[in-house]
Amino acid sequence: GAVVSQHPSRVICKSGTSVKIECRSLDFQATTMFWYRQFPKKSLMLMATSNEGSKATYEQGVEKDKFLINHASLTLSTLTVTSAHPEDSSFYICSARDGGSGGLETQYFGPGTRLLVL
Amino acid sequence: GQNIDQPTEMTATEGAIVQINCTYQTSGFNGLFWYQQHAGEAPTFLSYNVLDGLEEKGRFSSFLSRSKGYSYLLLKELQMKDSASYLCAVMDSNYQLIWGAGTKLIIKP
């Protein structure tokens, strides 16, 4: 099946620094990528949807200047948490929709990135 | 508004059968998904239903009734490794996934 990778898998940073998370589709072209955030024992919360070559669409309540998303190619999207604070500590998961052979329902998840801001 | 309801937690015994229910109210419907998520890991795909009826895949089966806005995930011959959260998600008219809060399944020996 299709594979989506995320890097890093785990990051610890100081408050005020910026952290970049990469999401890559390894064997398919991802026309659309999604970024989710998950708090402990809670469901996934969609943060934004990004389409290759265009600006990301952010969900209500998600600060676009805080969470910068770039989807520069069909295989790579990045999420940058700018000036991270302890409340940004969370599990961040990306997923990618296969724009090729898969249907619109075909969405593959990355393994997630656990961010801890001290 | 859009809403997905599923029980918060369920407990079952190894070797038994468990049914996890999911009810939904969404703007449009383009299919219902079940995902399994182990603690600290990303969700993994289990099943997709877009037509009414039962889809069987090994020990796991998923049922859908669109008229009732209802689905269930049936797990047979439970194993300890099935202890996880099970997420119900519905794809709405915009092809966006609407997620339930997940059901934590605890398997006891």
Whether residue B104 and residue A105 make contact (CB cut-off 8 A), yes or no, is: no
Counted across chains A and B, CB pairs separated by less than 8 A come out at 43
Distance from the Cα of A51 to chain B's closest Cα (Å) equals 13
The average confidence (pLDDT) of chain B is 94
pLDDT digits (tens, 9 = 90+) for A1-60: 678 999 999 999 999 999 999 999 998 888 889 999 998 878 889 999 998 888 899 999
A44 and B CB contact within 8 Å: yes
Q: B108 pLDDT exceeds 90?
A: yes
Average pLDDT over residues B42-59: 92
Q: Specify the pLDDT at position A31.
A: 82
How far is Cα B48 from Cα B40, in angstroms, rounded to an integer? 23
Does residue A107 belong to the interface with chain B, where contact is any CB pair within 8 Å? yes
How far is Cα B91 from Cα B5, in angstroms, rounded to an integer? 15
Interface touch B43/A93, C-beta < 8 Å: yes
Write the pLDDT tens digit of every residue in B15-26. 999 999 999 999
